[in-house]
Amino acid sequence: MKTTRHQITFVIALLFNTFGLIVFSSMLRAEEVTHAVRLAKQYIQSGNANERIALSQKLAPFDGKWESVQNALQSSTPRKKAKPGYYGKEHFSTTKLRKKHPDDLLYFIVPKNYQPKHATGLIIFMHGGGKGSPRISPARYMRRDKPTEAYIGDIFEKTGMIGVAPSAPWNPNDHSRWTLSETDDYLADVIAECKSRFHIDSSRVFLWGHSMGGFGAFHQVQRQPDRFAAVISGAGSWTLGQWSVTRGTMFCIVHGVKDAERGVRDRHTDIQYARLADKLLTEQKIPHVFKEHAGGHPIADSKKSVLDFFKKYSRLKRNPFPRHVAVASQVGFRVSKCFPKKESYWLTLNTPTKKGLLEYDALTISTHGNKKESSLEEWKKWGLTHKKVKRPGALIDVINLGNNQFQITAVNTSKLTIWLHPKMVDFNKPIKMTINGKIKIEKRVTPSLITLLDSFKRRHDWDITYPAKITLQIP
């Protein structure tokens, strides 16, 4: 059978038209996503309820494209072209953050292998000190040339991750400045600043604190475990714990046997704090790492243990969908720093009841032998006593059992929200929930772009956003 010139011409024309339609369709989809991204940014930034309602109506047609819009929003943040090296005494550089933190300082070490085209992990280091520690305090840690001394710069080189050491939030009357009420947002701002400078893998952000920073680590692992791939506390202490809320995030405790020594250092960061935390986490079956070393309080003594942790876990990624998550309405590393909280991962504790007590782990400190000047007899009398205490609070503890089933424990709360993602459930089937072993609820939900954007506004972190939700009233 012969092919005529007219047949060949027809086939070529058909292929050309088909290809043209595909290209045009792709361009149209790209334009749609660009338009949706513009509307989504307006929705996120708007503080006007009526404007948000109008924008939500315009965004409704894009519900089926929520993943494309999210990907575009995540990749729309511009970055500076930073090079490897040491950057000391830096200020926040974005207009918004500089205005918010005009006097705070940042110290960076960018490892030699950093390439802007590749996403890199980030280690945030919370320095030690006290109420009078100046904002230049991080400078004495962030060196690379003397790895055997009290400098940590070599750790960032060895792990290949970017290191940032911010000055602690300022308060001349507080010895634990990494546990101030504003610290939660401050650390989120540090991450945002780093993302504006470097290509950060937001699933590999680690928080490491030493001494006063160790207090901060015990505090932050309870305050915002969903912000980090892992939290490392070195030479810290605590007196109040709601350990259930740390689920989903790796917690590492590093401590020296000789941290407190008579004639050398007081008892306020004694090894017993770390040992009791390890014991309680183990009893409550909460995954964690405890590294006890033979040294004392100085960071030089703990560096090997910290580096060993990073050798094993530097590739660890934050999981936005942990199977087991809990939120308590009041958490902090001690009673005076027990602040309100409502969000973590895919849970929102909407409404705690006005009355109701929640059980916490608490430590009572002996009044004997606290000071390094104590007599040997008094020194030996010192100790910590663990007890369960009840104080005002609410808790939701939820397990994703798989197969669209959730087991919910709700204490002292009348309303909660479970945020959902295709990696957690099958939206083609109903979601089944059991509350406190008695109430059984079954619901169907559909993902939407507006729900995704509302989810983002909870934590302003695209890696822990969810396109669907179920809000439950607890009788």
370 backbone dihedrals φ, ψ, rounded to 5°: -75, -35
Average pLDDT over residues 323-333: 98
129-149 pLDDT per residue, tens:
999 899 999 999 997 766 667
Tokens (6 digits) for 466: 């969810």
Q: Are 319 and 247 in contact (CB under 8 A)?
A: no
Asked if 137 contacts 211 with a C-beta cutoff of 8 angstroms, the reply is: no
For 48, the 3-state DSSP assignment is coil
Q: CB–CB of 190/213 below 8 Å? A: no
Residue 372 tokens, joined:
């390094």
Q: Which ranges in 198-270 belong to alpha helices (H)?
A: 212-223
Is the model's pLDDT at 150 over the cut of 90?
Answer: no
Residue with tokens 């650390």: 187
* 22 and 143 fall within a common domain: no
Say if 382 falls within a structural domain: no
Tell me: the pLDDT tens digits for 331-358? 999 999 999 999 999 999 999 987 899 9
Mean pLDDT score, 115-131: 95
pTM, entire model? 0.92
Q: Does residue 329 lie within any of the structural domains?
A: no
Query: Where does residue 157 fall: left (phi above 0), alpha (psi -120 to 50 degrees), or beta otherwise?
Result: alpha
Read off the pLDDT of residues 248-276 as tens digits, 9 standing for 90 and up. 999 999 999 999 999 999 999 999 999 99
Whole-angstrom distance, CA of residue 301 vs CA of residue 270: 15
Nearest to 191 by CA among 468, 471, 472, 460: 460
Copy the structure tokens of residue 361: 């782990």
Amino acid at position 151, single letter: Y
Return the pLDDT at 468. Answer: 98
Of the three residues 74, 95, 113, the one that is the final residue of a domain is 74
Residues 2-40: tens digit of each pLDDT: 555 555 454 444 444 444 433 333 333 778 889 999 999
pLDDT at 76: 63
Q: Mean pLDDT for the chain?
A: 92
- Asked if 67 and 209 sit in the same domain, the reply is no
Give the C-alpha separation, 461 to 414, whole Å. 27
User: Which CATH number belongs to the domain containing residue 311 in this structure?
Assistant: 3.40.50.1820
Specify whether 225 is located in the same domain as 307.
yes
| Same domain membership, residue 70 and residue 98 | no
Residue 13 shares a structural domain with residue 99:
no
- Can you count the helices (H) and strands (E) in the chain? 11, 22
Instruction: Give CA separation, 151 vs 184, 292, 293, 311, 319, in Å.
Output: 26, 20, 18, 18, 31
How far, in Å, CA of 425 to CA of 405, rounded? 8
- Together in a domain, 39 and 104: no
* Residue 63 structural domain: 5-74
Residue 255 resides in a domain: yes
CA 362 to chain centre: 24
Alpha-carbon Rg for the chain in angstroms: 26
Residue 212, both tokens: 């006063």
pLDDT at residue 81, rounded to an integer:
80
Does 184 score more than 80 pLDDT? Answer: yes
pLDDT of the residue at 203? 97
57 and 99 part of one domain: no
Residue type, 264: V
| Segment 218-255, tens digit of pLDDT | 999 999 999 999 999 999 999 999 999 999 999 999 99
How many domains does the chain divide into? 3
Residues 124 and 264 in one domain: yes
Across 190-209, average pLDDT? 97
